[in-house]
Amino acid sequence: MEVERDQTVSSPTVPIVDLSNLDKELVARAVVKASQEWGVFQVVNHEIPKELIQSLKKVGTHFFELSSEAEKEAVATPANSKDIQGYVTNSQQDVEDKVDRVDHLFHNLSPPSSIDYRYWPKNPPEYRQVNEEYARQAKKLAEKILGWLSEGLGLDREALFNQGFGGGKKAVYTMKINYYPPCRPQANLVLGMQPHTDIHGLTILVPNEIPGLQVFKDDQWFDVEYNPSIINILMGDPIWMSNGKYKNVLHRTTLNTEKTRMSWVVLLKPPYDMVIEPLMKHTGDGDEAPKFKPITYGEHVERKVRDKLQKRS
């Protein structure tokens, strides 16, 4: 899909859903409608404590601003490793190259069998405690949202989480911290992250106060407004298990000329050997035909990475 860089609309039209509304049917309908029309929405009154989010940002920022490169390299992804976990730096890429100009820190949060603490920073000392508590809160939010999305498909509340992601013992939650240094003098011409849809299923995103996230809808880029009380929810590729009813949102990140942008992202994805296929309510007469062929999540990842590398060459 070819998209023009100057088709940007600064607008607060990305749907906002208040999870504290006592009418939960109304909340569920709002989540479903936003997922069908946008593939992205923002939630307020999500029950994740403000102080916890502030602590998450504080410990993550502390790590990326360490003066010692050795401490960052201590949790770096090993050379030639297929493991995505660890610290990776790409922020100094040539601005002429169409590559992501961002430093990352990845590490799994759940299930326990997927966690490798070698990739968790030791500095600051409270990093692990804060991230473990945030993981507990983010998991509750993710499962609540998937429940509403399941019911929006006419399925049992647990269907998407259990049949689509493998349930509590298999579904993988990963923390990804993005660090976008300032880019001068042409930040308006350079993207921190190129237009893409997420390879995993559900994204829970908290940014710092520097704007930059944009989503694509109706042939336009929309700025996603920042509010410290808001958490952003984005649908990723495996949401095709809805058989096309929910969108996987195309999005990108722009750079700031003066200030560093950061975001803390919890990614929910199936295990690599899990088959991703449309989950539909079977009513017997007139069953809906599947629009997507079954594929393992691992095969999907390999295919998408391969396509991305081919576009660069």
Active site residues: 176, 196, 198, 251
Q: Which residue is listed with tokens 């000329």?
A: 257
Q: How far apart are CA 273 and CA 158, in angstroms?
A: 20
Burial 36-51 (b: 16+ CB within 10 A, else e): bebbbbbbeebebeee
- Residue 176 near residue 268 (C-beta atoms within 8 A): no
Q: Exposed (0-12), middle (13-18) or buried (19+): which is 236, by Cβ within 10 Å?
A: buried
- Residue 218 near residue 209 (C-beta atoms within 8 A): no
Q: How far apart are CA 166 and CA 269, in angstroms?
A: 9
**In terms of Cα–Cα distance, which of 234, 301, 246, 244 is closest to 271?**
301
Q: How far apart are CA 85 and CA 60, in angstroms?
A: 15
